[in-house]
């Protein structure tokens, strides 16, 4: 397999910019596509992205463009826009992308309306692409600053996953290759929903014990759904599953945790969404995760209460009562 030298990153937000910087540090030639001309101008003139990565000056030069056609000929494309925009962002590449080009989905979510994992959407829009996923415990601000990070990089074909891991690896960024596309995506999507629940527990001051219990029971949910959908167990206990769940369920740096924290303090989801709160993917994935659970015959009680709280069908206290009054059961067979 030919080496991956040129990389296009689609998305000029926090994670897209951080991954572009990280790939440049790994020695790749990187083009960052963003829809906002003002941001492209800022990157070209100042090598900063002050709105999404305040305080970070790029240590490696990035080329920026507003024309998505400039991305089509790269050896690999990283898609890093909010999960619900995946279809819209990929569509213009339909007639441009060379067959076999790896498209690495770096967003974490499930498509509303279809219940698709993002690789399913990719297959519908760009069937000629080689489907790939990057996921794991990694805050954009940490990666942008070159702090040590490890992630999972999965591709349909193990050799492609190895090539992508090789291309993205640097002294501070360590990808582990995998061929489990399903497991890698289920972990990333569900941890966002579960982080909202843990944030709400913290915001409601229910205690560290409750937060740990919810993280563990959340992991049981993530595992049940992942296995029912065909994930491999070792992926779910790896970086993109347990690793990312632990990070997001324990840190106020997580936007999903922070969103939940504010719900726990009494704000409503509607109010938060209307007041320009930062992107919290779990808000959009919660309901569709519950639907996926139903489709696969899997019970997801924590995701269900998160979905109900977001839709204002339940208060935080009612959610707690619902979880605590469920019939007692054996832990392993739950």
Ligand X SMILES: O=C(CO)COP(=O)(O)O
List 25, 28, 108, 130, residue binding ligand X (CB under 6 A): 108
Q: What CA–CA distance (Å, rounded) separates 246 from 242?
A: 6
Contact 40, 63 (CB under 8 A): no
**Is 33 annotated for ligand binding?**
no
**Is 304 annotated for ligand binding?**
no
Please report which residue ranges of 82-207 form alpha helices under DSSP H: 86-90, 118-125, 140-144, 158-168, 181-203
Please say if 191 is a catalytic residue. yes
Q: Among ligand X, ligand NAI, none, what binds residue 292 when CB lies within 5 to 8 Å by partner kind?
A: none
Strands (E), the chain: 6-10, 29-33, 63-65, 76-79, 102-105, 130-135, 149-155, 173-178
**Is 35 annotated for ligand binding?**
yes
Q: Which residues pair with 154 in a beta bridge?
A: 133, 178
Contact 45, 59 (CB under 8 A): no
Q: How far is the CB of 61 from ligand X (least distance, A)?
A: 26
Q: Among ligand NAI, ligand X, none, what binds residue 203 when CB lies within 5 to 8 Å by partner kind?
A: none
Residue 250 binds to ligand X (criterion: CB under 6 A): no
Half-sphere exposure for 267 (CA within 13 Å, toward CB):
17
Q: Which of 112, 191, 205, 278 is catalytic?
A: 191
CB atoms within 10 A of CB 38: 10
Q: Among ligand NAI, ligand X, none, what binds residue 187 when CB lies within 5 to 8 Å by partner kind?
A: none
**Is 255 annotated for ligand binding?**
yes
DSSP at 33: E
**Is 124 annotated for ligand binding?**
no
Closest Cα partner for 253 from 280, 218, 228? Answer: 280
Closest Cα partner for 130 from 92, 94, 157? Answer: 157
List 17, 49, 116, 248, residue binding ligand X (CB under 6 A): 248
Residues 6+ apart with CB under 8 A from 112: 84, 284, 287, 288
Among 242-250, 265-273, 290-298, 321-329, which window interacts with ligand X (CB under 6 A)? 242-250
Among 38-46, 83-91, 248-256, 283-291, which window interacts with ligand X (CB under 6 A)? 248-256
For ligand NAI, the closer CB: 66 or 213: 66
Q: How far is the CB of 101 from ligand NAI (least distance, A)?
A: 19
CB atoms within 10 A of CB 44: 12
Residue 107 binds to ligand X (criterion: CB under 6 A): no
Assigned token pair, 320: 């707690």
For ligand X, the closer CB: 138 or 211: 138
Q: How far is the CB of 279 from ligand X (least distance, A)?
A: 7
Residues 6+ apart with CB under 8 A from 15: 80, 106, 140
Interacting residue ranges for ligand NAI, rule: CB under 6 A: 11-16, 34-36, 52, 80-83, 85, 88-89, 106-109, 138-140, 279, 281
List 8, 195, 197, 289, residue binding ligand X (CB under 6 A): 195
Among 69-77, 98-106, 240-248, 320-328, which window interacts with ligand X (CB under 6 A)? 240-248
CA distances from 8 to 104, 136, 151, 207, 231 (A): 10, 20, 19, 44, 28
Q: Which residues pair with 175 in a beta bridge?
A: 151
Residue 137 binds to ligand X (criterion: CB under 6 A): yes
Residue 284 binds to ligand X (criterion: CB under 6 A): no
Which residues in this chain contact ligand X in the complex, by CB under 6 A? 108, 137-139, 192, 195, 244, 247-248, 254-256, 281
Active-site annotation, residues? 191
Residue ranges at the known binding site for sn-glycerol 3-phosphate? 108, 136, 138, 191, 244, 254-256
Residue ranges at the known binding site? 15, 35, 52, 108, 136, 138, 140, 191, 244, 254-256, 279, 281
């Amino acid at each position: 397999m030919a080496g991956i030298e040129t990389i296009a990153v689609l998305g000029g937000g926090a994670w897209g910019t951080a991954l572009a910087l990280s790939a440049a540090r790994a020695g790749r030639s990187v083009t960052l596509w963003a829809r906002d001309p003002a941001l492209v101008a800022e990157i070209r003139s100042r090598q900063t992205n002050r709105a999404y990565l305040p305080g970070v000056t790029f240590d490696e030069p990035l080329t920026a463009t507003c024309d998505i056609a400039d991305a089509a000929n790269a050896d690999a494309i990283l898609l890093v826009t909010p999960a619900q925009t995946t279809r819209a962002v990929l569509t213009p590449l339909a007639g441009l992308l060379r067959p076999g080009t790896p498209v690495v989905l770096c967003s974490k979510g499930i498509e509303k309306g279809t219940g698709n994992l993002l690789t399913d959407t990719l297959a519908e829009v760009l069937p000629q692409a080689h489907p790939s996923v990057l996921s794991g415990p990694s805050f954009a601000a940490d990666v942008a600053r070159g702090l040590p990070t490890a992630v999972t990089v999965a591709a349909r074909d193990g050799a492609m996953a190895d090539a992508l891991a090789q291309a993205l690896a640097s002294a501070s960024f360590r990808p582990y290759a995998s061929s489990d596309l399903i497991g890698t995506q289920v972990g990333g999507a569900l941890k966002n929903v579960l982080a909202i629940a843990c944030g709400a527990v913290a915001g409601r001051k229910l205690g560290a014990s409750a937060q740990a219990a919810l993280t563990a029971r959340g992991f049981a949910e993530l595992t049940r759904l992942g296995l029912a959908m065909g994930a491999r167990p070792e992926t779910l206990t790896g970086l993109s599953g347990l690793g990312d769940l632990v990070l997001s369920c324990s840190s106020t740096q997580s936007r999903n945790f922070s969103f939940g924290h504010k719900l726990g303090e009494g704000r409503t989801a509607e109010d938060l969404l209307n007041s320009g709160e930062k992107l919290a993917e779990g808000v959009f994935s919660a309901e569709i995760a519950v639907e996926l659970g139903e489709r696969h015959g899997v019970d997801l009680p924590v995701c269900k209460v998160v979905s109900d709280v977001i839709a204002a069908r339940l208060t935080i206290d009612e959610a707690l009562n619902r979880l605590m009054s469920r019939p007692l059961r054996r832990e392993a067979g739950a």
